[in-house]
Amino acid sequence: MRFPYLASVSLSVCAGLVFSGCSSTSISGSGGASAAAPSVVAVGVQNNGVAPNRWQYVQFNEAMDASTINAQTFVVTDSGGKGVAGKVTYYPDLEVAGFEPSPALQENASYMATITTGVASMQGAHLAAAYSYNFTTRAAADTSPLYVATVTPAPNATCVSATTAITITFSEGVDVSTLTAANIAITGPGGAAIPAKITYNIATALATVTPTAALPSGMITVTVKNVADAAGVAMKAVYGWSFDTSCSSGSAVAYVYVSGGAGNSAAASTITAFAADANGQLAPVPGSPFSDNVGSIAVNGKYLVGSAPGPYINSYAIGMDGSLTTASQFNYGSDLGYQANNGTVCSGVGRLVFDPSGQSLYGAVGNLQCANNNAIASFAMDSSTGSLSYLGNDNVGYDSATDIAVLGNDAFAYGALNDACMYGGISSFARASNGLLTGFLTVTAPTLGPTAPPGAASAGVSQPIYRAGLTATDNTNHVAMVEYPCFSVNGKIPDQLQLATYSADASGHLATSDTYATMPATAVTAPQQLAISPDGTLLAVAGTQGVQVFHFNGASPITSFTGLLATDSIGAVAWDRHNHLYAITSNVYAANTPVSNPNKLYVFGVTNSGATAAPGSPYAVTFPGSIAVQSK
């Protein structure tokens, strides 16, 4: 798990800041004037323990004299008091001193870092007392990349103040030498570079980018690349987002896109687009509906993509008013690499999903070589043009489910094998630096999964177990799954399905502490999709019986929240960043007879006290097939 904390650190609290050696002592400089003693105000955040190959960082409350910060004044010693070899560097722009051990520290070992009174401020004032903290290293080096966890202003925000500060919170502490203008760049309308000052809080991994002058009116784009963590492992993909300092886009907080009519002769194939206001009320986007025959759709902040016959994947640029314009069309069926991996194209790419960076696109490919084998296809997106390129496939097996969810750290993805109890399991995929997903582990119960209730009898398998179903991921390292009972209690297999939460470690391996007693049951007994809200606190379960919302609590068990919000059959759901839940009815046909009450788009506002239908909900849509929501 990736939780920020300091391992085995001995600290005291002074003036609301965490540090030791607190003092208000003043000393006299060479001119006789009194200067307050500088102090250490923060120690670099550590994630999942202190990795032995990471830098140790401390931050001061003022600018320091670099000549006084060296191997004699920033010292790391082992449990026997022996000094550790390493390099000491001071970063004046950030008021940060760093110690890089060379070689790496020992694993599972205790150390003390000390900043002596030899360090001095630019005014010549020395630390009033030596500052020390203790830490214990973990058992493994840090080899996983960091990623951008949150940003402000929000992507696609409008009416942003021209004097706003831009913030970037990273998933872990960074190598502060990589916080440069080349790696964190701001551009304005027309791509003009905007100079800015970067500051950084080592305790929270928060970088603040402050433009040196008021931002110009119009689209502002921030690009983050090549930033490394404190072990020197750089982020895998470029992260970029845009916001608008003008107010021409009105009051929309999200744009909602619904593909409809594809493959159904009763209706023209379209993408219907809505602008959602703060109350969840919808209004048509200019130009909507957009005529195009696409099935599954997905958005990444700048583009909407849709799977189309041919076989093609179409890309559309999203305008500031939510309108769509064609950007590119990729004929993956004619790609030589795709042909080599798939042979005859007997089935196109199905459900599409972007990774958190928006640079990689994944699609479910069915019926490989017309033999019912399924795979996950990986594509790279050019953020400047919206064009796609094929990276490769990972075959997930015969008649296996191919819907996946990408973890918030952008390093791993997971999919549940929706087979019978005997063959059910969880497939894990690692994401390469170019975005290619490769399966590295498929685990079947009872090796992994919640424990069945006492006295349960096996049903179709050697012992009573749960079989994992659909998956959803939050913005950190947690995975929600539907659990199907493969056991009976008092001679009866339970009717209700339950919900479990799993946590991924640094290697991508999943674990859960859930049991029969801790997992809530869902009223949706034939689920079609799980979706976790962007802030990671809510979980929607959609299916034949309707849609229901639960509290998602990270590594802690999921807890009940609402009943069924709609009782129509729900085929797909999506959240915006303002806790609006959007749900489209299913159009599954049985014996050429459509389900009851199709052609609806529901909108719900979800707060801590419950969920209510938004004004105007439900809205009419034509044969909805897929939904994607672009938040602002």
Q: What is the mean pLDDT of residues 412-426?
A: 75
Residues 6+ apart with CB under 8 A from 572: 528, 529, 542, 583, 584, 624, 626, 627
User: In three state form, how does the secondary structure of 545-595 look?
Assistant: CEEEEEECCCCCCCEEEEEEEECCCEEEEEECCCCEEEEEECCCEECCEEC
Among 159-173, 318-332, 365-379, 386-400, the least confident range? 365-379
pLDDT of residue 596: 54
- Indicate if the alpha-carbon torsion angle 160, 161, 166, 169 is positive or negative: negative
Range of the domain at 8: 4-136
Query: Is the per-residue pLDDT at 357 higher than 90?
Result: no
Looking at 109, 136, 163, the residue that finishes a domain is: 136
- Is there a single domain that holds both residue 159 and residue 98? no
Query: Mean pLDDT, the chain, as a whole number?
Result: 84
Task: Give the pLDDT confidence score for residue 54 in this predicted structure.
Answer: 94
199 within a domain of the structure (yes/no): yes
Lowest model confidence (mean pLDDT) among 80-84, 237-241, 468-472 = 237-241
Tokens of 332: 């993956």
Residue with structure tokens 């790609």? Answer: 335
The torsion defined by the Cα of 325, 331, 332 and 333, in degrees rounded to 10, comes to 150
pLDDT-derived band at 95, boundaries 50, 70, 90: very high
* 89/178 same-domain check: no
What is the tens place of the pLDDT at every residue in 249-294?
457 889 999 998 644 444 458 899 999 998 999 999 999 999 888 8
CA–chain centroid gap for 32, Å, is: 54
DSSP helix/strand/coil, 76: strand
On the question of pLDDT at 477 being above 60, the answer is yes
Task: Kindly indicate the confidence band of residue 219, based on its pLDDT and cuts at 50, 70 and 90.
Answer: confident
Distance of CA 147 to the CA centre of its chain: 9
**Is the same domain home to 99 and 71?**
yes
Q: What is the pLDDT of residues 70-92, one digit of tens each?
A: 999 999 999 999 999 999 999 99
Comparing CA positions, the residue from 469, 480, 358 lying closest to residue 410 is 358
Considering the domain boundaries, does residue 334 fall inside one? no
Q: Which of 92, 115, 136 represents a domain boundary (last residue)?
A: 136
Give, in order, the Cα–Cα distances in Å from 435 to each of 245, 378, 430, 438, 559.
32, 7, 9, 10, 34
Structure tokens at 233: 């492992």
Q: Average pLDDT for residues 342-365, to the nearest whole number?
A: 79
172 and 217 part of one domain: yes
Please check whether residue 463 lies inside any domain of the structure.
Answer: no
Residue 516 falls within a domain, yes or no? no
Lowest mean pLDDT among 130-139, 143-152, 362-371, 604-613: 362-371
Residue 238 has pLDDT above 90, yes or no: no
Terminal alpha carbon distance of the chain: 29
Selection from 105-119, 341-355, 459-473 with the highest mean pLDDT: 105-119
pLDDT reported for residue 592: 43
Q: What pLDDT is stored for residue 539 in this prediction?
A: 97
What is the reported pLDDT for 550? 97
One-letter identity of residue 407: L
- For position 372, what pLDDT does the model report? 58
pLDDT tens, position by position, 498-513: 999 999 988 898 999 9
Task: Let me know: does 352 contact 313? Beta carbons within 8 Å.
Answer: yes
Residue 19: the pLDDT is 33
CB 445 within 8 A of CB 401: no
156 and 88 assigned to the same domain:
no
Which position has the token pair 């119960």?
Answer: 445
Which of 395 and 484 is assigned the larger pLDDT? 484
Confidence of residue 34 (pLDDT cuts 50, 70, 90): low
The tally of domains found in the chain comes to 2
DSSP summary character for residue 487: E
| CATH number for 94 | 2.60.40.1220
Question: What type of residue is 431?
Answer: R
Answer yes or no: is pLDDT of 320 > 60: yes
Residue 621 falls inside a structural domain = no
Lowest mean pLDDT among 104-108, 463-467, 628-632: 463-467
| Phi-psi category of residue 50: left, alpha or beta, with phi > 0 → left and psi -120 to 50 → alpha | beta
Cβ-contact 402, 420 below 8 angstroms: no
What's the pLDDT at 369?
58
Name the band, by pLDDT with cuts 50, 70 and 90, for residue 584. very high
Q: What is the pLDDT of residue 461?
A: 62
- The neighbouring-strand residues paired with 574 are 582
Asked, for residue 161, whether it belongs to a domain, the answer is yes
pLDDT in tens, 429-456: 999 888 999 988 766 555 567 888 888 8
Share of the chain above pLDDT 90, in %: 55
Sorting pLDDT into bands at 50, 70 and 90, what band is 588? low
* Residues 131 and 217 grouped into a single domain: no
Q: What is the pLDDT of residue 309?
A: 81
User: Where do the DSSP E strands lie in 346-504?
Assistant: 349-354, 360-368, 373-381, 388-398, 405-406, 412-417, 425-431, 437-443, 457-458, 465-473, 478-488, 497-504
Q: Is residue 305 part of a domain?
A: no
Task: Say whether both 178 and 238 belong to one domain.
Answer: yes
What is d(CA 239, CA 423) in angstroms, rounded to the nearest whole number? 38
Looking at 244, 275, 294, which one is the last position of a domain?
244
> pTM here?
0.66
Cα angle 470-472-478, degrees, rounded to a multiple of 5: 125
177 shares its domain with 55: no
| Collapsed DSSP state (helix, strand, coil) of residue 67 | helix
Q: 75 lies in a domain? A: yes
Q: What is the 3-state secondary structure (H, E, C) of 451-469?
A: ECCCCCEECCCCCCEEEEE
The answer on 124 and 8 residing in a single domain is: yes
108 and 28 both lie in a single domain: yes
Same domain membership, residue 51 and residue 130: yes
Q: How far apart are CA 531 and CA 277, in angstroms?
A: 21
Q: Could you tell me if 125 and 157 lie in one domain?
A: no
